Amino acid sequence: MASDQMSERAGSPQARLSRRRLLGAAGVLAAGATGYAVRGGGSAEPRRQPAVAAPPRFRGPHQPGVATPAQTHLTLAAFDLATEQPGELRRLLSTWSETADRLMRGGAGGLDPAGLTVTIGLGRTVFERDGRDRLGLRSELPGALAPLPRFAGEELDPERSDGDLCLQLCGDHPQVIFGALHTLTREAADVAVPRWTQSGFRAPASGGTPRNVMGFKDGTVNPGGAELDRQVWAAAGPAWMRGGTYMVVRRIRILLDVWDATSVEQQEAAVGRRKTSGAPIGGRSERDRVDLAALAPDAHVRLAAAATNGGAQLLRRGYNYLDGVDAATGQLDAGLVFIAFQADPHTQFVPIQRRLAAQDALNKHIQHTAGATFAVPPAGGAFAGAGLFARL
Ligand code: HEM
261 C-alpha vs ligand 1 centroid, how far in Å? 21
Residue 98 contacts residue 118 (beta carbons within 8 Å): no
Percent of the chain whose predicted confidence (pLDDT) is above 70? 86
83 C-alpha vs ligand 1 centroid, how far in Å? 38
Q: Is the CB of 217 under 6 A from ligand 1?
A: yes
Q: Is the CB of 305 under 6 A from ligand 1?
A: yes
* pLDDT given for residue 20 in this prediction: 46
3-state secondary structure of 281: coil
Nearest CA among 7, 386, 46 for reference residue 192: 7
**Among 102-111, 264-273, 292-301, 382-391, which is the least confidently predicted range?**
102-111
* pLDDT given for residue 391 in this prediction: 78
- Residue 14's pLDDT band, with cuts at 50, 70 and 90, is low
**What's the rounded mean pLDDT across residues 117-141?**
97
271 C-alpha vs ligand 1 centroid, how far in Å? 8
* pLDDT given for residue 21 in this prediction: 43
Dist. CA 19–CA 206, nearest whole Å: 44
pTM for this model (two decimals): 0.89
Dist. CA 38–CA 33, nearest whole Å: 11
C-alpha gyration radius of the chain: 21
Minimal-distance CA residue to ligand 1 atom 34: 304
CA 100 vs. chain centroid, Å, equals 16
Q: Is the CB of 352 under 6 A from ligand 1?
A: yes
Q: Is the CB of 281 under 6 A from ligand 1?
A: no
Residue 96 contacts residue 384 (beta carbons within 8 Å): yes
User: pLDDT tens digits for 317-366?
Assistant: 999 999 999 999 999 999 999 999 999 999 999 999 999 999 999 999 99
Distances (CA, A) of 43 to 17, 102, 268, 341: 31, 9, 52, 34
Helices 174-188 and 86-104 sit at what angle, rounded to 10 degrees?
A: 150
Q: Is the CB of 38 under 6 A from ligand 1?
A: no
Distances (CA, A) of 133 to 143, 207, 384: 15, 48, 21
Q: Is the CB of 353 under 6 A from ligand 1?
A: yes
Minimal-distance CA residue to ligand 1 atom 31: 304
* pLDDT given for residue 87 in this prediction: 97
Q: Is the CB of 314 under 6 A from ligand 1?
A: yes
Nearest CA among 247, 279, 199, 256 for reference residue 375: 247
**What's the rounded mean pLDDT across residues 141-165?**
98
Minimal-distance CA residue to ligand 1 atom 6: 218
Looking at the chain, how many residues does it have? 392
* pLDDT given for residue 76 in this prediction: 99
Burial of 73 by CB count in 10 Å (0-12 exposed, 13-18 middle, 19+ buried)? Answer: buried
Atom of ligand 1 nearest to the CA of 356: 30
* Residue to substitute in 301, 365, 367 for testing ligand 1 pocket (most ligand atoms within 8 angstroms of CB): 301
Report which of residues 84 and 37 the model is more confident about: 84
Minimal-distance CA residue to ligand 1 atom 12: 218
User: pLDDT tens digits for 221-233?
Assistant: 999 999 999 999 9
Strands (E), the chain: 73-81, 117-122, 165-171, 192-201, 245-254, 315-316, 319-326, 331-342, 366-376
Atom of ligand 1 nearest to the CA of 219: 16
Q: Is the CB of 62 under 6 A from ligand 1?
A: no
Is the pLDDT reported for residue 4 higher than 70? no
Residue 235 contacts residue 242 (beta carbons within 8 Å): yes
Residue 284 contacts residue 390 (beta carbons within 8 Å): no
**What's the rounded mean pLDDT across residues 286-290?**
97
386 C-alpha vs ligand 1 centroid, how far in Å? 34
* pLDDT given for residue 13 in this prediction: 57
